[in-house]
């Protein structure tokens, strides 16, 4: 197509204003379901402790008249503990950068505060769920709390060599629910799963699994609630599970807020650090640990297909 002689195009024009909309789009997830739904308490030391106990198994109990009473030795409680973990976010913004006109935010500092606050919340969710072991720390080594996946040791179904190349199936899932129930777990259970295991669960074929809404031009092949012989399970897709433990299904008993509690040693807001130049250095810090008040009320399936 011909171009008019002497046509002055945008490619050579000087002074055209930029077309930058005054919006910043960010869809990064910030659900943090476990942090929001677990209980909350206070820690007073960097090593936080609590106790658990259990009743003896039911047994035959019949005695004769006039029997001389004899005392049995009580079983002591179990003393448990977890270390507090310090989580930090820092950023600095030059005084000039804060003074200039920005698109999408009136203040660069305010924008970064909001962004880093959400990032710290995501990091807390990761630690509370994923951390496999506690660490006492040292002068040059950070303390680390033990998360849910690290605490659960009683009710575990692990993939065998034959099943490790597959996603979890209904038989294995029910086997885990049976273990939890036998230890005293209570429904409704909440299962945190990544996308891989959620697809497998939605393919369960048991006659008590599926609640389908049948509408015109719509197929609903999703299992969000599972009614089993051992109780009801509500499934929650969880992004941390998908990212850090895609081959694992985490089943949490009720009441969640009593079985699992966040113990905060410190919750600090944003703090402006001492100025050492023409910039502002902002610091955000939290310190907490996780109480596993009774890990036997929950369980996990692990070692299954992760992709």
Q: Compute φ and ψ for 89, nearest 5 degrees.
A: -135, 135
- Buried-state track 172-189, b at ≥16 Cβ within 10 A, e below 16: bbbebbbbbbebebebeb
How many domains are contained in the chain?
A: 1
What residue ranges in 114-254 does DSSP mark as E strands? 156-158, 189-193, 225-228, 231-237, 249-252
pLDDT tens readout for residues 136-191:
999 999 999 999 999 999 999 999 877 777 889 999 999 999 999 999 999 999 99
In a domain, 166, yes or no: yes
In a domain, 188, yes or no: yes
Q: What is the pLDDT, as a whole number, of residue 213?
A: 53
Q: What is the pLDDT, as a whole number, of residue 35?
A: 96
Q: Which of 13-27, 69-83, 252-266, 272-286 has the lowest mean pLDDT?
A: 13-27
In a domain, 69, yes or no: no
Bridge partners of residue 83, in order along the sequence: 47
- Is the predicted pLDDT of residue 13 greater than 90, yes or no? no
In a domain, 218, yes or no: yes
- Cβ(147)–Cβ(127) under 8 Å? yes
- Buried-state track 274-288, b at ≥16 Cβ within 10 A, e below 16: eeeeeebebebbbbb
In a domain, 23, yes or no: no
Q: What is the pLDDT, as a whole number, of residue 215?
A: 58
Q: How confident is the model at residue 24 (pLDDT cuts 50, 70, 90)?
A: confident
Q: What is the pLDDT, as a whole number, of residue 157?
A: 95
Q: What is the pLDDT, as a whole number, of residue 147?
A: 98
In a domain, 277, yes or no: yes
Q: What is the mean pLDDT of the chain?
A: 91
- Is the predicted pLDDT of residue 14 greater than 90, yes or no? no
Q: How confident is the model at residue 209 (pLDDT cuts 50, 70, 90)?
A: very low
Report how far apart, in Å, the C-alpha atoms of 29 and of each of 13, 109, 307 are.
Answer: 42, 22, 20
Q: What is the pLDDT, as a whole number, of residue 71?
A: 92
Tell me the torsion sign for CA atoms 201, 205, 207, 211. positive
Domain with 200 in it: 33-50+77-297
Q: What distance in Å separates the CA atoms of residue 138 and residue 146, rounded to the nearest whole number?
A: 17
In a domain, 4, yes or no: no
Q: Give the list of residues 6+ apart from residue 129 with CB closer than 8 angstroms, or none.
A: 34, 147, 148, 149, 192, 238, 240, 241, 244, 245, 250
Bridge partners of residue 283, in order along the sequence: 90, 271
Q: What is the pLDDT, as a whole number, of residue 218?
A: 61
Q: Residue 64, preceding bond cis, omega within 30 degrees?
A: no
Q: Which two tokens stand for residue 103?
A: 């698109």
pLDDT tens readout for residues 106-118:
999 999 999 999 9
In a domain, 258, yes or no: yes
Burial class for 214, CB neighbours closer than 10 Å (0-12, 13-18, 19+): exposed
């Amino acid at each position: 197509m011909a171009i008019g002689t002497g046509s002055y195009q945008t490619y050579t024009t000087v002074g055209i204003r930029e077309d930058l909309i005054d919006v910043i789009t960010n869809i990064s997830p910030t659900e943090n379901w476990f942090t929001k739904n677990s209980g909350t308490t206070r820690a007073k030391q960097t090593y936080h402790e609590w106790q658990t106990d259990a009743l003896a198994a039911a047994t035959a109990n019949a005695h004769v008249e006039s029997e001389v009473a004899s005392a049995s030795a009580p079983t002591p409680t179990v003393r448990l503990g977890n270390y507090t973990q310090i989580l930090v976010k820092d950023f600095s913004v030059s005084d000039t950068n804060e003074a200039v006109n920005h698109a999408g935010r009136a203040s660069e500092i305010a924008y970064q505060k909001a962004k880093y606050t959400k990032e710290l919340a995501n990091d807390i969710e990761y630690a509370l769920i994923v951390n496999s072991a506690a660490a006492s720390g040292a002068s040059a080594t950070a303390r680390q709390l033990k998360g849910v996946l690290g605490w659960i040791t009683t009710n575990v179904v692990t993939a065998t060599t034959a099943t490790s190349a597959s996603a979890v199936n209904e038989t294995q899932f029910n086997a885990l629910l049976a273990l939890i129930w036998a230890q005293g777990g209570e429904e409704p259970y909440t299962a945190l799963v990544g996308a891989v295991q959620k697809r497998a669960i939605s393919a369960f074929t048991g006659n008590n699994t599926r609640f389908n809404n049948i509408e015109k031009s719509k197929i609903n092949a999703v299992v969000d609630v599972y009614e089993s012989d051992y109780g009801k399970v509500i499934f929650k897709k969880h992004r941390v599970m998908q990212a850090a433990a895609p081959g694992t299904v985490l089943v949490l008993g009720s009441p969640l807020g009593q079985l699992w509690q966040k113990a905060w040693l410190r919750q600090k807001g944003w703090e402006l650090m001492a100025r050492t130049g023409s910039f502002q250095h902002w610091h955000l810090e939290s310190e907490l640990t996780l109480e596993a008040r009774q890990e036997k009320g929950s369980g996990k399936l692990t070692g299954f297909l992760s992709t």
